[in-house]
């Protein structure tokens, strides 16, 4: 029996998205085309595979059992075929799904997008969140091209590369009545604080740094993203502790002022991880090199 290998990525996209519309968008095809492919998949594998329910398409038991083997087969084919192909970034047309944490999305992704526009205008990015679970990003299965953030305890099938380090600083409003050019430990502990609670290891890293120094905070409000900070600080006497790269952006806001932390809170790493299936993929290698280049430039620019 002959098998249509073009149907295998359709199967994997449906397993990941559990939605026909999103799976079609992910593959760059129309929804009718994907529905037609699903009909052929069901005929080829002699099973309904995905059952339409209220909140999406749910895989059958057979689909669940087939998924690991199909993912491994596609990974092997990718490594075999893509490794033999040349790559011209100026002419390439390709979609990469990446999973940055909120810090990377704020600090690195805009510069990465600008560099892609210059060198590879046909390369498109699709961002998916990176929180606390690597498996949820799709990186461990290889469905996501790479994850960017703090990588802790990666499995054997992920390759991890260090990109840059960053420190921590404090931000208050420019005309703060209690704080001038320096922020003492006593002031830090007496002020009300805005606490950023992004998903993932960045949050744990800050808490651990404060604990190591025995530094206390009186947290008045917690938010989930760095973008919520400027407006909140501009109308209160609150303080916040943020990565220095983010503080560099906020330093351009005349309503705010950036100050050194009252004690050394150390640094935290930003890393990039990808599935071994992409190790020899020329396009993936090129994108990794571009991201490393951007990270190095941003890190260098922050050195006085």
State how far the Cα of 259 lies from the Cα of 139, in Å rounded to an integer.
37
Parallel/antiparallel/unpaired status of strands 146-149 and 94-100: parallel
Residue 240 backbone dihedrals phi, psi, to 5 degrees: -140, 155
- C-alpha 14: how far from its chain's center? 21
Instruction: Please write the tens of the pLDDT for every residue from 270-296.
Output: 999 998 888 888 899 999 999 999 999
Going by the DSSP 8-state scheme, the letter that residue 9 receives in this structure is H
Instruction: Please write the tens of the pLDDT for every residue from 234-257.
Output: 999 999 999 999 999 999 999 999
User: Which of the pair, 111 or 278, is modelled with greater confidence?
Assistant: 111
Please name each of the domains of the chain with its CATH number.
Answer: 7-82 (1.10.10.10), 94-162+269-301 (3.40.190.10), 168-266 (3.40.190.10)
Cα–Cα–Cα angle for 290, 293, 295, rounded to 5 degrees: 110
What is the full DSSP assignment across 188-241? HHHSEEEEE--SSHHHHHHHHHHHHHT---EEEEEESSGGGHHHHHHTSS-EEE
Q: Are 155 and 273 in contact (CB under 8 A)?
A: no
pLDDT at res. 203 = 52
pLDDT at res. 258 = 96
State how far the Cα of 276 lies from the Cα of 287, in Å rounded to an integer.
15
State pTM to two decimals.
Answer: 0.72
Residue 150 backbone dihedrals phi, psi, to 5 degrees: -100, 115
CB atoms within 10 A of CB 278: 22
Say whether 148 sits in a helix, a strand or coil: strand
Encoded tokens for 237: 């006497």
User: Which of the pair, 45 or 75, is modelled with greater confidence?
Assistant: 45
State how far the Cα of 30 lies from the Cα of 34, in Å rounded to an integer.
6
State how far the Cα of 212 lies from the Cα of 203, in Å rounded to an integer.
15
Q: Is the pLDDT of residue 120 over 90?
A: yes
Instruction: Please write the tens of the pLDDT for every residue from 58-108.
Output: 999 999 999 888 887 877 776 666 655 668 899 988 899 999 998 999 999
């Amino acid at each position: 029996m002959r098998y249509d290998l073009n149907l295998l990525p359709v199967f994997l996209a449906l397993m990941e998205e559990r939605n026909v519309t999103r799976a079609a968008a992910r593959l760059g095809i129309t929804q009718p085309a994907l529905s037609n492919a699903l009909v052929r998949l069901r005929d080829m594998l002699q099973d309904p595979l995905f059952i339409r329910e209220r909140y999406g398409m749910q895989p059958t038991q057979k689909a669940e059992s087939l998924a690991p083997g199909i993912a491994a087969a596609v990974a092997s084919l990718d490594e075999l075929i893509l490794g033999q192909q040349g790559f011209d970034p100026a002419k390439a047309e390709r979609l990469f799904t990446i999973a940055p944490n909120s810090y990377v999305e704020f600090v690195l992704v805009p510069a990465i997008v600008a560099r892609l526009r210059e060198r590879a205008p046909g390369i498109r990015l699709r961002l998916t969140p990176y929180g606390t679970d690597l498996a949820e990003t799709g990186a461990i299965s290889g469905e996501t091209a790479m994850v960017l953030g703090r990588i802790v305890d990666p499995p054997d099938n992920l390759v991890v590369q260090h990109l840059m380090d960053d420190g921590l600083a404090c931000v208050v409003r420019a005309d703060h009545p209690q704080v001038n050019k320096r922020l003492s430990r006593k002031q830090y502990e007496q002020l009300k604080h805005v606490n950023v609670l992004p998903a993932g290891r960045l949050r744990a890293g800050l808490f651990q740094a404060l604990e190591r120094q025995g530094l206390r905070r009186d947290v008045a409000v917690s938010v989930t993203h760095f973008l919520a900070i400027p407006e909140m600080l501009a109308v209160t006497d609150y303080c916040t502790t943020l990565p220095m790269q983010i503080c560099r952006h906020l330093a351009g806001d005349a309503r705010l002022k950036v100050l050194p932390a009252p004690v050394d809170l150390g640094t935290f790493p930003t890393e990039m991880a990808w599935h071994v299936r992409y190790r020899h993929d020329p396009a993936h290698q090129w994108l990794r090199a571009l991201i490393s280049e951007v990270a190095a430039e941003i890190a260098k620019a922050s050195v006085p």
